[in-house]
Amino acid sequence: MPTQTLLYLILGIAVLGLLIVRNLSARPVRQRNQRLYLVLGVVGVIQTVQYMQHHHVPVATGIAALAGSLVLAGVFGAIRAATVRVWSQDGQPWTQGNILTAVLWVIALAAHLGYDALLGTHKDISGLGTATVLLYLVVTLGVQWFIVQARAAKLQPASPSEPTWMS
């Protein structure tokens, strides 16, 4: 395995670990700092462009493969969002994932790499999934965040003493 591919994979797994830990923590729902998405997205785009330049990926093939991967990311983000508990406490919406959320994060990354393995039979795009892992994580996280935000916005403020649960 080339060093750059291994680095991309390690970076993706480290980010995945961070995302799982953050998803399992009970936290107030608030406007997320968009810098995280921006930084991960920019790094992901840079990795993707570098990969495509060094492997001379045909533009149409690369875009089609990347689009398929990002659709997969969106689907997993939506499925995971359904496993996140959203409730109101002290007048503020809160969110917390569960073990199924964590398992779905791992399955989502495995699906991305599996998709890459399927594409690996096409020599021009072999390894694209490893190079686009951060971009994939940004999209899947963004979709999950958007859906959880929408669910939290629907909550009516509860009295400070009793939480309102929403599954």
Cα–Cα nearest to 23, from 107, 88, 93, 81: 81
Ranges of each domain in the chain: 3-166
- For residues 122 and 111, the model is more confident at 111
Q: Regarding predicted confidence, which is higher, 143 or 3?
A: 143
d(Cα 70, Cα 141) in Å, to the nearest integer? 11
- For the chain, the maximum distance between any two Cα atoms, rounded to a whole number of angstroms, is 60
Q: Tell whether the model's pLDDT for residue 43 goes beyond 70.
A: yes
The helix-helix angle for 99-119 and 59-81 (nearest 10°) equals: 160
Radius of gyration of the CA atoms of the chain, in A: 18
- Where residue 98 falls among pLDDT bands split at 50, 70, 90? very high
Out of 26-35, 74-83, 134-143, least confident range: 26-35
pLDDT at 162: 52
* pLDDT score of 160 more than 60: no
pLDDT band at 72 (very low <50, low <70, confident <90, very high): very high
The dihedral of CA 51, 57, 63, 67: what is its sign? negative
DSSP classification of residue 165: E
More confident residue, 103 or 35: 103
Distances (CA, A) of 27 to 20, 47, 50, 51, 140: 13, 31, 36, 36, 19
Statement: the pTM of the whole predicted model exceeds 0.85: no
DSSP strands (E only) in the chain? 27-28, 85-89, 92-96, 164-166
DSSP code, position 122: S
